[in-house]
């Protein structure tokens, strides 16, 4: 691997996982290039065996999945670690919340709730209200849980900004634009403050797929 090669992050900018990896690069001041290819495109499928995004290229080395990519970036660029902390316990805490954000939170807020709006599969293309109504209690419970979690420190883990936050924030930033999630997040005082505060970070602003950025 050429240590001086630029990191390449491949994947659509609207993906919460793609944006999370880009946020990490920004937080770590890593020079990188972003290529907005869709899932299952030829460049993506050449790296990820299931055609999912994000994928990464660093010289001749390629890697798939956001967690391994960030772990790799922490090893190659150890400054401002995003997956590691100064104790084993805090590192494990970061990993725990990365797992929760990437599985349970993403499944409910994105794959079920947001997709009922974006990819409803209804005959007329209208929002799938049955799916939305079914998932609302689970979504509201998750938001209540996250509100309590960020209340003491303003972060998910280790008392500082980590990959757990970098993964959760693009998810919350996306779904708060939809009516039910927007109202629920706004009604959660600590979580709404958390979202507004961190979405003003340069790393989140530069990777925001819904605004024009100077490249």
Per-residue pLDDT of the chain (215 residues; tens, 9 = 90+): 455 689 999 999 999 999 999 999 999 999 999 999 999 999 999 999 999 999 999 999 999 999 999 999 999 999 999 999 999 999 999 999 999 999 999 999 999 999 999 999 999 999 999 999 999 999 999 999 999 999 999 999 999 999 999 999 999 999 999 999 999 999 999 999 999 999 999 999 999 998 854 44
Domain boundaries, given as residue ranges, for the chain: 7-76, 88-205
E strand spans, the chain: 7-10, 32-35, 55-58, 61-64
Q: What share of the chain is helix, strand, coil (3-state, %, to 5)?
A: 55, 10, 35
Q: What is the pLDDT of residue 2?
A: 54
Superfamily of domain 7-76: Glutaredoxin (3.40.30.10)
CATH of 88-205, one of 3.30.565.10, 3.40.50.970, 3.90.1150.10, 1.20.1050.10: 1.20.1050.10
Q: What is the pLDDT of residue 212?
A: 52
Name the residue among 12, 31, 175, 50 with its Cα closest to residue 105: 175
Identify the DSSP state of 55: E
Q: What is the pLDDT of residue 185?
A: 98
């Amino acid at each position: 691997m050429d240590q001086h090669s630029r990191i390449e992050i491949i994947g659509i900018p609207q993906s919460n996982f793609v944006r999370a990896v880009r946020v990490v690069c920004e937080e770590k001041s890593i020079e990188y290039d972003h290529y907005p290819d869709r899932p299952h495109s030829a460049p993506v499928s050449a790296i990820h065996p299931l055609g999912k995004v994000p994928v990464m290229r660093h010289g001749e080395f390629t890697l798939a999945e956001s967690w391994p990519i960030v772990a790799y970036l922490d090893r190659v660029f150890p400054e401002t670690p995003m997956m590691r902390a100064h104790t084993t316990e805090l590192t494990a805490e970061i990993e725990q919340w990365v797992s929760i954000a990437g599985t349970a939170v993403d499944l409910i807020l994105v794959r079920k709730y947001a997709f009922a709006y974006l990819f409803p599969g209804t005959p007329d293309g209208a929002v799938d209200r049955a799916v939305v109504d079914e998932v609302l209690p689970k979504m509201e419970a998750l938001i209540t849980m996250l509100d309590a979690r960020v209340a003491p420190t303003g972060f998910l883990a280790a008392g500082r900004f980590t990959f757990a936050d970098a993964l959760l924030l693009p998810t919350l930033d996306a779904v708060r634009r939809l009516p039910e999630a927007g109202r629920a997040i706004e009604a959660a005082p600590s979580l709404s403050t958390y979202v507004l505060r961190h979405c003003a970070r340069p790393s989140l602003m530069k990777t925001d797929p819904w605004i024009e950025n100077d490249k």
